Structure 1
Amino acid sequence: MKLGIAGFRKTVVAGGIGLLVLVALSLPAGAGVKPGDFITPDNASQVKDLVSPGVYYKVQQGMTMKIVPTTRIDWPPPYKDATEKYASQVQLSKDHRSLIGYVAGQPFPLIDANDPYVATKVVWNALWRPITTDDYDLRYYDCDTVYSGRNKPYFAIWYYQTGHYAGYDLVGRTEVEPMPVDPDFKNTNRLWLFLLGPQLAPQDGRGTSLLRYRYDNPNHGDDTWTWESGTRRLRRLNEAIMSSATGAYSWDPDHYSGFNPKTEEYDYKLIGEKEMLATVDAEHSPEIRCATDGGGSACPERWQMRHMYIVTAEPRRSVNNAEAIDSKTVIYMDSEMWFEPYVDTYDRRGELFRNHVYWLAYRDRPVPDAKIAIYPFKREFVVGACSTDVQSGQASMCYLPGHETAERECWYINMGAVDRAFFTPEAMVKMSETGHL
């Protein structure tokens, strides 16, 4: 039977009610806060139970919040259509490690609280999220690394700027031809391609780039290469070090856009559902550097109550992730936009290690004065992202678009801005060596 989106949502709500009773994690809507409240370290206790431990740490350190009414977030119409067309044929494999029959849209719009694999399905839904489905090119963004703290003056210990944060999906395409699957998928088994680079600042790392391929085969790890300015050579990376050995200070490739390691290499458990605060309709773009925590976040910004799935991810002790530095990741998944507003990771001692926060805007263009990236419907854009080592206080805050970059539109989503040819080791080396973006 084919269900409309309204039918999907009714089923999700019904399943959610049962799960809330089961795990007793539900809070009354707006508990602790109401629209118009302004949260500072002095009244941070009001949001302690409405955010993750990592986000609560950020508020204690000086990040402020403007509480606003909840906004409805709709999926892009092409993504809705693909979900209705293809979702009924999707299922987990017998070993529950991969998807069978996935084409496009959301794989599992019917969330059943009694399903023993509900957490795995939530994570697969997040992988094939509506925010980007075909291609994206985030051009020229920058990041500051600081030691954050309450009322600390801003002092950047490191500044980073890059030319591209770009991706291309071979499966799940909904807006740009070829749709819904790139024919190359049958030949290569690649699900998506990703490139970060070339680095533009600081000068001593200029040209450094990262290229990553994700495969549909659950036993095929990611292929990853870097080009580094110091050695001026292409280097192949071992998948096991992707969560710790690359990235800008506290950033790592597995958390560039929420929770992003290879899905099959983790075990998942649904802790429950809860009404929590998040930024999904940001006021500012570019984001504002927070003046009350040393530049370790974007503030003040609009936060609203959202319905979240809370899922833990623990690495399977296999060859590929035996060296994982995170013993556990707690994913907070917005049940409407299917993107993680924040993620907390825990070290091998089980102590809170890092927090990742993403500030998203919901509009028909990435910036108010956009001239190219304009859409016939609203969609989500990440306008700010921060990774914080809560054990040291070091935070890397990224601005999308950047504060000190010439490119102002920044985000080009599902516009054909990049194609497969952009994501080859040869193209990466050429771009890194010549500086032509």
Structure 2
Amino acid sequence: MIGHFARPSVIAVALACAAGTLHAATEADIEKSFFPYKQGVPTAPGVTTGTSINKGNVANFAGVLDPGMQRFIQEGAVEITVGATTSFDLNKSYVDATKENAGKVKVGAKPGELVGYVAGRPFPEEPDAKDARAGEKLAWNFRYGMNWGDGLAISPFYWKYRNMDSGKVERNILFNFHFIKYTHRLNQAPVPEIAPNPSKLYRATYVNVQEPQDVKNTQLLIQRYEDDLKQDDAYLYLGFQRRVRRLSTGQTTDAFLGSDIMIEDFEGYNGRISDMNWKYKGTANILMPFYNHNDMKLSDEYKEPDGYKYVAFGGQGGCFPNITWQLRKVHIVESSPVDPNHPVSRRVHYMDAQTSAMSETLVYDRKGDLWKVFMLGMTHPDSHLAKNKGSGIVLFDAFSMIDVQAKHCTTGQFKGQLDAQMVPVSLFNVQNMRGGN
């Protein structure tokens, strides 16, 4: 793959062109990509602010619900309330970088190769159903999205393992999660990259378990390379073993610490572009878990010194975030594993067009049956902690991974903090894991 800021060769560009970029994004394309509601918000019959969608009326809203949510509502597992559709404007530096680099980015000869990318949204133009690489381009938009910005901590991060039938909470785990970008940085110093970076990493995720005692100080480090064709490095430190071990590729699709979520499920998809076949399935207006955190009825369960409150959960088994849902423009993308031994046959991602966030994902098992539904609640940063206001960084705020076959779920409540001091580069290496708690 062509390195960061390297000059693409004539041959590479020719191959990329042959691979099919149908047209370069125009100024109008970029405006439409980042400000899709400037001329008005989506509408659908009966979908108005405050509308409650439940078992009795769900048939009227089939056109604006993904199949997973439609199924849950039909079964009486949850009722949802419609919120007003609002614009989640992204950080100006990201929009500006997209404008500066428009038309310079091409997909390479095969999936996982990208030519000419510098910063911003690689493919801001509307996806074209006639373009065989349209799904892959949307996946690149997700990979190089502004979600989490250049560095962010989720601290604390509360997970619950729940029996959906009985409502029993079987396990509580308290984590700290940390994210950092090494390259294509726009809003936290240093810009545009962290140096030195001899391994040519793009991004890293560091996880540390705080509670309970039996898994305390379990740590996970995932290092993703700038070159998507290079395998991620993943390391696990188990406190009771007091040693770091490298995870094999297959272990990222195991249940993470006995939960309903695998490492590859994080954020909607946490793997390489080249690990999947990508198909663009269309664009639609769908109800999505986007909202303003401070306007929700929040939980009093956990007490924070600064008064911050977490999203509450309800519905069957306590598996559903108590939030409002916005009717939003959504690109539907299907990913199917290249590896025939993968436990998943395909995922269907509902990608928010404005932010490129995969906030709803349906996961199908190897037989092709619906296995799990992942929902990722997204809050506007201006309705959150003071340090996040004005950032233009959309915040992950609550998640639920529901195993519809096992009738079980794992839920997460976030305190996302855009704070460079909480994500020093020194956190994201194996030596730090060995250093203990």
Q: Normalized against structure 1, the TM-score is what?
A: 0.84
Quote the residue 2:117 is aligned against: 102
How many Å apart are 1:175 and its aligned residue? Answer: 0.8
Aligned counterparts of 2:31 and 2:56: Cα–Cα separation in 1: 38
2:194 and 2:391 mapped to 1: Cα distance?
Answer: 24
Query: Which residue of 170, 175, 179 maps to 1:167?
Result: 179
Specify the alignment match of 1:415 in structure 2: 420
Coordinate RMSD, CA, aligned:
2.4
Following TM superposition, by how much is the alpha carbon of 1:177 offset from its aligned partner in structure 2, in angstroms? Answer: 2.0
Rounded Cα–Cα distance in structure 2 between residues aligned with 1:294 and 1:11:
38
Matches for 1:263-302 after TM superposition, within 5 Å = 263-282=273-292, 283-284=295-296, 286-299=309-322, 301-302=323-324
Q: Is the 8 A contact 2:343 2:366 kept in 1?
A: yes
- Alignment-derived partner of residue 219 in structure 2: 209
Q: In structure 2, what is the Cα distance between the partners aligned to 1:252 and 1:133?
A: 23
CA deviation string 1:292-346 (max 9, x = no partner): 32211112x21111111111101113xxxx4310010111101011101210110
Summarize the Cα distance change of 1:330–1:170 in structure 2 as closer, same or farther, 3 Å threshold. Answer: same
Change over 3 Å in CA distance of 1:101–1:183 after alignment to 2: farther
- The alignment partner of 1:207 has SS state of coil
TM-fit CA distance, 1:378: 4.4
Q: 1:181 matched to which residue of 2? A: 193
The 3-state SS of whatever aligns with 1:133 is coil
Which residue of structure 2 aligns with residue 49 of structure 1? 63
Residues 57, 208 of structure 1: CA spacing in aligned structure 2 closer, same or farther, 3 A cutoff? farther
2:159 maps to a residue whose letter is C
Change (3 A) 1:167 1:243: same
Distance 2:360 2:425 in 1: 30
- Residue identity in the other structure for 1:190: L
Structure 2 letter corresponding to 1:29: T
**Moved runs in structure 1, 4+ residues, more than 6 A?**
1-4, 11-14
Runs of 5+ unmatched residues, structure 2: 1-22, 37-41, 299-308
Residue deviations 1:237-263 (CA, integer Å, cap 9, x gap): 101220224345101111221212111
Q: Alignment partner of 1:84: what SS?
A: helix
The aligned counterpart of 1:403 is none
Cα deviation 1:177-204 (Å, max 9, x = unaligned)? 221233334x21211111111x122221
Task: Write the mapping of 1:28-427 to structure 2, written as runs, cut at 5 A.
Answer: 29-31=43-45, 33-59=47-73, 60-113=75-128, 114-149=130-165, 154-162=167-175, 164-185=176-197, 187-197=198-208, 199-282=209-292, 283-284=295-296, 286-299=309-322, 301-317=323-339, 322-364=340-382, 366-367=384-385, 370=386, 373-400=387-414, 410-413=415-418, 415-427=420-432
Whole-Å separation in 1 of the counterparts to 2:239 and 2:72: 34
Residue deviations 1:153-211, cap 9 Å, x none? x420111111x2111111220011221233334x21211111111x1222211111110
Matches of 2:288 and 2:388, distance apart in 1: 25
Q: Is the 8 A contact 1:143 1:396 kept in 2?
A: yes
Report the Cα distance in structure 1 between the residues aligned to 2:256 and 2:222, rounded to whole angstroms: 12
Secondary structure of 1:337 counterpart: coil
SS of 2:97's partner is helix
For 2:278 and 2:196, locate their aligned partners in 1 and report how far apart those are by CA, in whole Å: 31
Measure the CA separation in 2 of the matches of 1:362 and 1:328. 30
| Deviation by residue 1:340-399 (Cα, 9 ceiling, x = unmatched) | 1210110000000111001111132633xx4xx244354321111011101011011111
**What stretches of structure 1 of length at least 5 have no aligned partner?**
15-27, 401-409
Deviations for 1:103-147, whole angstroms, at most 9, x for unmatched residues? 211111123413221110001001111222311111111111112
- Are 1:93 and 1:99, in contact at CA under 8 Å, matched by a contact in 2? yes
Counterpart residue type for residue 262 of structure 1: R
Question: What amino acid does structure 2 have at the position aligned with 1:193?
Answer: A
Write the distance in 2 (CA, Å) between the matches of 1:176 and 1:43. 47
- SS of 1:411 mapped into structure 2: strand
Q: Does the 8 Å CA contact 2:34/2:89 hold for their aligned counterparts?
A: no
The aligned length equals 395
- 1:15-46 per-position Cα deviation (integer Å, ceiling 9, x unaligned): xxxxxxxxxxxxx8324533221123333333
Q: Is the 8 A contact 1:33 1:46 kept in 2?
A: no
Counting aligned pairs with the same residue, the percent is 21
